[in-house]
Amino acid sequence: MPKFAIEVNGLRKRFGDQVVLNGIDLAVMPGTIFALLGPNGAGKTTLIHILSTLINPDVGSARVAGYDVVRDKNEVKKSISLTGQFAAVDEVLTGEENLLMMCKLSGLTTAESRIRTSELLIRFDLAAAAKKRVKTYSGGMRRRLDLAISLVVSRPVLFLDEPTTGLDTISRRALWDNIIQLKEQGITIFLTTQYLEEADQLADSIAVIDQGRVATAGTAVQLKSRLGGEVLELRNGHDELLLVVPTSGKIQDVMLTLNELAHSLPPDTQVSIRKPSMDDVFLALTSKEREESYA
């Protein structure tokens, strides 16, 4: 086993004039969950497509399970499973037929495929809907089937592109449990998400990308601590959020900050002090560009 399950060096990709990835460096340890966090259009899906051999990078290199994604495409394909942004299931077939098809394509015999399919249907709580066409499935059921398909044979690295987008809270939590179970089996999971909570709950390490660059990377705790000890939240009389200001949490610092702000804020402004959340990390890192793009 190589030292890193996924290793990315100086990756760049442009489509026409648009620079999508502008020099990405990453490393993911084997058997961990890695979350790539970023707004729409940040380049998350493009990076997953490069790592899963769907497209080639313009510059830079990437290795998955020790294999180069450009030179050893076939070896990479044998080491990964990709669950795309839109549930990659065949809507016309039943859940069972989807699994049987993927088992056979993965090289299992018919008998092995049947056994594996019924195991996965039970494990992902789809046995009752096994004979129903996927067209009739709910979003959560599709995603569970999607994940089940990714597991027909054991692959060391699993890519999940926005696995819980569009799911309700209960389905999302159920899927999180599934993902954590996979990690416990030793599978490396590379997921993208727009949800900070998801990254916070699931990931061993996180990278925030924005405009094709890694804005920051580390564990959830590290990312939050970089914002300082405490965050001041300022709301007006109608309880509308005015400002979020990171501070060290020390009394002098808090007083100075509030003194500076006092002149420019309405007198009925409410102040609360809390620990930084992943949202604060995200906003602090990406807000500058956003302001520019909205201007």
Q: Residue 239 carries which DSSP code?
A: -
Binds another protein by CB under 8 A, chosen from 21, 26, 35, 82? 82
Q: Considering only the stretches 3-11, 35-43, 146-154, 241-249, report the one whose residues sit in contact with another protein under the rule CB under 8 A.
A: 146-154
Q: Which is nearer to another protein, 189 or 196 (CB)?
A: 189
Query: Which one among 12, 14, 114, 123 touches another protein, defined by CB under 8 A?
Result: 123
Return the HEC string of 95-120: HHHHHHHHHHHCCCCHHHHHHHHHHH
Does 175 contact another protein by CB under 8 A? no
What's the min distance (Å) between Cβ of 173 and another protein?
A: 20
Give CA separation, 224 vs 194, 227, 253, in Å.
Answer: 17, 6, 18
Minimum Å distance from CB 88 to another protein? 4
Q: Does 81 bind another protein (CB under 8 A)?
A: yes
Least distance to another protein, CB of residue 92, Å = 5
Q: Does 83 sit near another protein (CB under 8 A)?
A: yes
Comparing CB distances to another protein, the nearer of 104 and 213 is 104
Tell me whether residue 83 or residue 247 sits nearer to another protein (CB atom): 83
- In the bound state with another protein, the residue whose beta carbon lies nearer, of 101 and 283, is 101
- Tracing tokens 């056994």 back to the chain, one arrives at 115
Radius of gyration of the chain (CA): 22
Q: Is 147 in the site for another protein (CB under 8 A)?
A: no
Two structure tokens written together for 82? 């990709």
Residue 261 near residue 245, CB atoms below 8 Å? yes
Q: What's the N-to-C CA distance of the chain in angstroms?
A: 49
Beta pairing, strands 157-161 & 59-64: unpaired
132 binds another protein (CB under 8 A): no
- Listed in sequence order, the residues at least 6 apart from 90 whose beta carbon sits closer than 8 Å to its beta carbon are 97, 98, 101, 134
Among 53, 178, 192, 286, binds another protein (CB under 8 A): 53
Number of residues counted as binding another protein (CB under 8 A): 42
Burial (Cβ within 10 Å: 0-12, 13-18, ≥19) of residue 132: middle
Separation CA 232–CA 238 (nearest Å): 17
Return d(Cα 240, Cα 233) in angstroms, integer: 10
Residue 271 CB, nearest approach to another protein (Å) = 46
Answer yes or no whether residue 93 interacts with another protein by CB under 8 A.
yes
Cβ proximity of 39 and 65 under 8 Å:
no
Residues found near another protein in the complex (CB under 8 A): 49, 52-56, 74, 77-78, 80-93, 97, 101, 104-108, 112, 116, 119, 123, 133, 149, 151-154, 181, 185
